[in-house]
Amino acid sequence: MWLGRDRVEVDGRGVKAAERKYWMVNKPRGIVTTAEDEKGRETVYSLLPVGSEWMGPVGRLDKASEGLLLLTNDTEWAARITAPESHVEKTYHVQIGAVADDSLLERLRAGVVDDGEELRATAVRILRAGEKNSWIEIILDEGKNRQIRRMLEACGVEVLRLVRVAIGAVTLGELAKGSARALTRAEVRLLNRAEHFRG
């Protein structure tokens, strides 16, 4: 098979380019986003069909976080999605141990400084509120390490649950917790057309 102008061979046999694969999983809490874990914890790879070809995670979700995680064997595509300059938005639904109010939302939008790093949300809104806790939606256009948890901790607010529900226009939808499926061609195109994405 010709890759550009060069024929790639191993031991005299032509090598085919690997088929590009793009998958999503609905990661439950407690599962780690690594291929192997030195502590023997369950990894996201246990959610993929048996015998699946290797795919790497596109970004991360920490052990305590849940929701949408992309995996692919297209490393260049993954790097562009996660690059800060791509500004592909990630949407999170976050349960907090406080009653959200306008002052909290404004502080998250304005930004906080944690460990010398400025952290801010692109957009924030209240989804629903009870007497002691609330669900808020937070949209980020860059993903710094533990950004949402750090922002809320800086505001003195406890995170009870953190669920990523969308990356760009691709949503978790009805995918059951702990399940995985291939992205549709339309979903891959949506990510390729995300604002500032250069594909």
Residues marked active site are found at: 62
Place of tokens 């952290």: 119
Write the single-letter amino acid at 118: E
CB 167 within 8 A of CB 90: yes
Quote the CA–CA distance of 6 and 125 in Å, as a whole number: 52
When computed from its CA atoms, the radius of gyration of the chain, rounded to whole angstroms, is 19
Q: Is the dihedral of CA 190, 186, 161, 124 positive or negative?
A: positive
> What separation in angstroms does the CA of 110 have from each of 89, 94, 118, 147, 155?
17, 18, 10, 14, 12
